[in-house]
Amino acid sequence: MYHKSTLDNGIRVVTESMPCVRSVAMGLVVDAGLRNEHPQKNGLAHLVEHLMFQGTCTRDSLQIAHFMDEAGGRIGGFTARDYTSYSATVLDDYRTFALDLLGDILLNSIFLQEDIDREKETILREIDTFYDLPDNRADALLNSHTWTGHPMGRPITGNHRTVSSITRDDILNYVQTYYQPDRLIIAAAGSLEHDDFVSQVRDAFWRMQSHPQQDDDSPPAYRPGIAVEYMPVSQVYFSIGIRAPHYSHPDRYALHILNKIIGDGISARLFRKIREDQGLVYHIGSEYQAYRDGGLLIIQGSTKPESFQQVLGQALRVLSRLITGDDPVQAEELIRAKNQIKGQHLIAAEDTNTRMSRLATQEFYFGRHISTLEITEQIEAVNRDKVEYITRHIMAENLPKISVAIVGPKCKEPYEILAEKAIRMIPLGKTKKEKTDEYRSICEENLDRNTEKPQRPSECHWC
């Protein structure tokens, strides 16, 4: 039931009909975000997203809110690192009106100075609220340290200085430059008919004319190391970043499965070994964060300062033993991870908003639709050899070059030193086979010299 059309002005329209539902979820994905901002205007894309709901030539913000309440639906937006998104979910009776509203806010928002001033203040409060939470600060610190000098390393919201400096002219220039039809994807899922929906999109967005812009597509350079911020809290919060492939990488399914085994869930290795077996943390887990031209496997957790070195060392040991083959992925682990991912995918697909979001992001990252059947088949096709390949060729290469962000209270010994000690204690470099081959080479060299016969490689403690 998937269909795709491209309008004369370049807008891509993707839909999926779900005959047994009464709702329609529709979304607009604009290829504009962090990488299109000047560093001194960081937060501009996010501010524009806020302002889109503050009034147009024919509707003020209250009228926009009243319409959505009367339709029994919801409307909103968010700014991601790769794009900006606007969406609405309504009953099918209100489909045309909701699409007209989305077209109105994208084409006719007036950006009054009083609205700009108010929303800037709102965003400054949002920034303060975000950084009140130490786990958020650790995540932001990891990005800024790992991707220093690249837009991906900057916060989506910006900071007090950059947001305060944004002018109305900055906003108008940004929208006129980047809110172009060739950068726009419109997706919808639910009770709809594709050709009718395309006609409605054409009516709502016909005035958009394309003026293509050249983007800076340079990928972020990865920077390993340790970054620390002190904060008056009782626990120390940490984020470990390991360089990982981009969103559309061919091995993405195996990476998601590996992440599930490592730290995504209460049966994952990190949770079982560090929380359940040793009680050293309340929370620890991992996440594979992937973007258009880069990605990170992130391990996040918190513990008391005196246990920080031990917890960090244990987390790295879990990864190291997986890489070296001392604790390889077991068949039951692989089956459980695959079933969990497939189950989550299928359960979420019962929601029109999820289906719409998948249509939009698949078109954005892949330029095509990836069916549920294809996804489940690809997940099922991942075997232990594929997971082992990922650990040996991606994890093994990048684990020695980790980035660690730490946010916590003052400690007797600096966190940088504790982290370095934990990292040095882990054999991050060589796999079990490489260590065995190295020992075998030494054995053969000693035999050639007619020295006393050494221990057989098969009896070596690495074997």
pLDDT at 105: 95
What pLDDT score does 177 carry? 93
pLDDT digits (tens, 9 = 90+) for 48-69: 999 999 999 999 999 998 988 8
| Stretches in the chain below the pLDDT threshold 70 | 216, 427-463
Mind giving me the DSSP string for 379-429? Answer: HHH--HHHHHHHIIIIIHHHGGG-EEEEEE---SS-HHHHHHHHHHTS--S
- Closest alpha carbon to 193 in 16, 13, 370: 16
Rounded CA-CA distance 359/18 in Å is: 13
What DSSP designation does 265 have? S
Instruction: Give the integer Cα–Cα distance in Å for 241 and 165.
Output: 32
> 214: part of which helix (H) or strand (E)?
none
In angstroms, the Cα distances linking 264 to 11, 260, 272, 276, 340 are 37, 4, 11, 14, 10
Report pLDDT for 428: 58
The model's pTM: 0.89
- The neighbour count for residue 14, using CB atoms within 10 Å, is 26
H or E segment to which residue 271 belongs? none
Q: Using one digit for the tens of pLDDT, what is the confidence trace for 407-435?
A: 999 988 999 999 999 998 876 555 555 55
Q: What is the CA radius of gyration of the chain?
A: 26
pLDDT in tens, 71-121: 888 999 999 999 999 999 999 999 999 999 999 999 999 999 999 999 999
Domains of the chain: 2-205 (3.30.830.10), 225-429 (3.30.830.10), 433-463 (no CATH)
| Bridge partners, residue 403, by sequence | 225, 241
Angstrom distance (rounded) from CA 65 to CA 251: 43
For residue 355, give every residue at least 6 positions away whose Cβ sits within 8 Å of its Cβ, in sequence order, or none: 16, 18, 25, 189, 190, 349
pLDDT at 442 (0 to 100): 46
Instruction: Please tell me the predicted confidence (pLDDT) of residue 445.
Output: 52
